[in-house]
Structure 1
């Protein structure tokens, strides 16, 4: 749903401070979290290698990347605390804030092309590789890939938009192969293809941090993630209609590639280093034909280094919010969830509960598996364990779990098609994918690492020292004092 341009001035100003990518980058720079690299860093491997070295410490800004005129930025959302900061909440309030926005999206605000920075420059029939600095990231990647492009398309039946991030291999200046997992974008494409029609799409590169995060929401098929972005901002998101098709894109974005997903056309794509930290196979994928590129004056290109923190966090936090909401509907005593970085932000889920019944953890495990097919392992812990601290979770497994009593195994379930362990034993011709009904077959494992509801004396009580949480070491430790080791006296 869109609001028309004449209603724009009646809306309250956005509550979020970062309206576009540039404002967020300026904030990172002002707080020492943006590294400016030397000019002309090569696009093949070198740029990604430098960005990976800075991962989680500083965002990387590459002026004149690859010897061109367009700078590249990476690692802009590579700490959980940065994402909470962009939302204006504490880390503990992050999931609640995202969940609130997902449940109460705001219709977008349509603006004219003259009001849209992303259409300041328009190239019809443009060449992607000549205009944009598209990097080649990992060692065996089959060429340059767009990794931070928001792919926006409209449902051919309802007209409602969907937003996702998909890997896109740039084959030539006007043709790009895309991986579409069995989700909403693929459903839209299959509907259009059944009618022998192309599916109009836009690939948006360089958006504000909240719109980037909203793109990863696990939402119903007829929920436009740009409306969730508006709710995160606290005001309708300004959008503009593309120059060559009917897709609406964020008006404040840096770069928009307009095109069509062609019916009946497939080209080989991959291998590509994906989020599980392995390469996905070379297979025949659907193809986007590029019709136009629009951008700001002096645009900035955003790339995500695959399998690093920015990639994993952007996928995991929206999923955590959705999973928490799903579990709490049936189990109000579920307190928190976390998709671990070690579990690539997708496969391993930690759940904190206030246990009331001995069988409840196993029910929670089953409910979590049903919430998203990517989840491969669930560990349920008590309310004295911080699920965001993997060492605490491992401690709970080490001291509260027995495999013959507390292990749940479900064989032959649907899992992630990008998990390479699911393809073991399957053999297909080069470039041929397994049939859809055989992709991602996975075993699920649940661990009940909770203590008994009733136990003898303090046998399962976590050791703590009274007052330890209130200690402020800055108030206790003396600075600038030395010890005379002959007399034991303190000296200033």
Structure 2
């Protein structure tokens, strides 16, 4: 792994420039309305994006129409290999890295404004001509989107009663020159609690949105309860990953902090009692592409952020992603892996070898658990591990269990186990009527009349492990152990 230190988005980009095949740039003029995502779908989006797509390099657009001096980067996290490179570990060990970071947090610190690169340029909302749509080159993912979206904004706010702070990522649509709608998944984010407390008191909630930050922050921000309960600031996880505290700075117009080395910071307040229709400017009925691979419905009523100011670095770089891309898989999935590893390890140490939050589930719906049975009494514990996985991450829908000789990150290997170590009538465990995630379109009474409410699902375990007493009959063909690098160095020199 590279020893080059990453402390912000720009240093991450500089690292990728040194690694062939991880970053490309273009000076070709690009329209932020649908074109950026339209291009990157083919370059490296992956995930649940409509085919054809692929895993490829991150991409920087240097010439964004209507936004002179600004650039847009997409796909920074759209490769597990690239995430491992930027976080300093092997791709298959990312869940373990984050699990360790959660248990050894380093709290963020506040620095003086003269050290805050995010405030090099300042635009106040009460200045003539202020318009967030002209200042921030937020893309529109498709031609049907409700509007331009900030998809990689680190939303930072504090509990109005206790003062505890937290960071999460939300769906943010630019609605007017100084208004942004904010989507909250019901019951899933700490900022929901903060907003509701402020609204019940009839007070606005100060909130900062930091865009273009250290990738460690973007991954850490995606942890959820019970791994990070209310009161746990996920910025401390990013600090643990880097072994150095994340630096914050006091905002200029609101009583809140922002990430000091962000490319952009939007300062604003969530206004109590105010709601807007998400597609009020387009009337398409659509929101934006979401991680399951479908375009979400426009929400009829969303809370509103009233923008007070925008600050940014000189020649800022806006970071964005495509909702269904591999980027979402990694941001949501790697923290999920860490959460499952932590919970199962506490209950039955040494048996769960690895976890992969599979790309086809957007990092949320499906997990492959690699489980080792070492003694007769381990039989059945693999299914207990699956139940614990559902407890560790409530939005998980499917768990596939495989043995230690199956690579959980290789879908062909997992399907091989499904085909040779699984019988549907005895190895499928259904858990109906459990709350899951509202963006799954199949979780609805129109799809299954037995579903009582939208967002309720049948969680399922696919046990593709060999019964302990039959392990000798299911040994894979063993080949001679040879160093292939001597024969094909061009293929194995970096391994």
Q: How high is the TM-score relative to the length of structure 1?
A: 0.88
**Residues 259 and 289 of structure 1 are in contact (CA less than 8 Å); yes or no, is this contact kept in structure 2?**
yes
Counterpart of 2:281?
Answer: none
In structure 2, distance between residues paired with 1:389 and 1:39:
36
Q: CA deviation at 1:16?
A: 7.1
- Equivalent-residue separation in structure 2 for 1:128 and 1:22 (angstroms): 23
Q: Could you list the per-position Cα deviations for residues 85-138 of structure 1 after superposition, in whole angstroms to 9, with x for gaps in the alignment? A: 112222233222211111111122211111100011111114210211111002
Q: Work out the CA distance in 2 between the residues paired with 1:311 and 1:91.
A: 16
**Paired residues for 1:17-166 under 5 Å:** 17-32=5-20, 33-55=22-44, 56-69=55-68, 70-125=70-125, 126-166=130-170
Q: Quote the offset at 1:139 in angstroms.
A: 3.7
| CA–CA distance in structure 2, aligned partners of residues 268 and 241 of structure 1 | 32
Q: Which residue, 239, 246, 249 being the options, matches 2:248? A: 239
Deviation of 1:217 (Å): 2.3
Q: 1:285 to 1:16 in 2, by over 3 A?
A: farther
Residue 196 of structure 2 is aligned with which of 184, 190, 197?
190
Q: Are the structure 2 counterparts of residues 417 and 16 from structure 1 closer, same or farther at C-alpha, using a change threshold of 3 Å? A: farther
Residues 237-275 of structure 1, C-alpha deviations (whole Å, 9 max, x = no match) = 211011112222211111000111111111112422101
1:343 aligns with 2:356: no
Q: Could you tell which deviates more after superposition, 254-263 or 123-132?
A: 123-132
Report the counterpart of residue 487 of structure 1 in structure 2: none
Deviation at 1:466, TM superposition (A): 3.3
Please give the per-residue CA displacement for 1:6-51, whole angstroms capped at 9, x wherever unaligned.
xxxxxxxxx9701111111122223242211124301111111112
Structure-to-structure mapping, 1:231-380, within 5 angstroms: 231-269=240-278, 270-283=286-299, 284-332=301-349, 333-355=351-373, 356=375, 357-380=378-401
Paired residue for 2:414?
393
Distance 1:391 1:121 in 2: 50
Cα deviation for residue 300 of structure 1 reads 1.0
Secondary structure of 1:455's counterpart equals: helix
| 1:438 equivalent in structure 2 | 453
Q: How many angstroms apart in 2 are the aligned matches of 1:262 and 1:138?
A: 29
Counterpart Cα distance in 2 of 1:342 and 1:214: 21
Structure 2 residue runs of 5 or longer lacking an equivalent are 45-54, 279-285, 491-495
Would you say the 8 A contact 2:246–2:259 is kept in 1?
A: yes
Runs of 5+ consecutive residues of structure 1 not aligned to the other structure: 1-14, 428-436, 480-492
Q: Which residue of 1 aligns with 2:480?
A: 466
Deviation, 1:62, is 0.9
In 1, the alpha carbon distance for the partners of 2:371 and 2:489 equals 40
Number of matched pairs: 452
Q: Partners in 2 of 1:441 and 1:93 — Cα distance?
A: 32
TM-score, structure 2 normalization: 0.87
Partner Cα separation in structure 2 for residue 110 and residue 474 of structure 1:
49
CA shift, 1:424, in A, is: 4.2
Query: Which of 232, 236, 239 matches 1:223?
Result: 232
1:201 aligned residue: 207
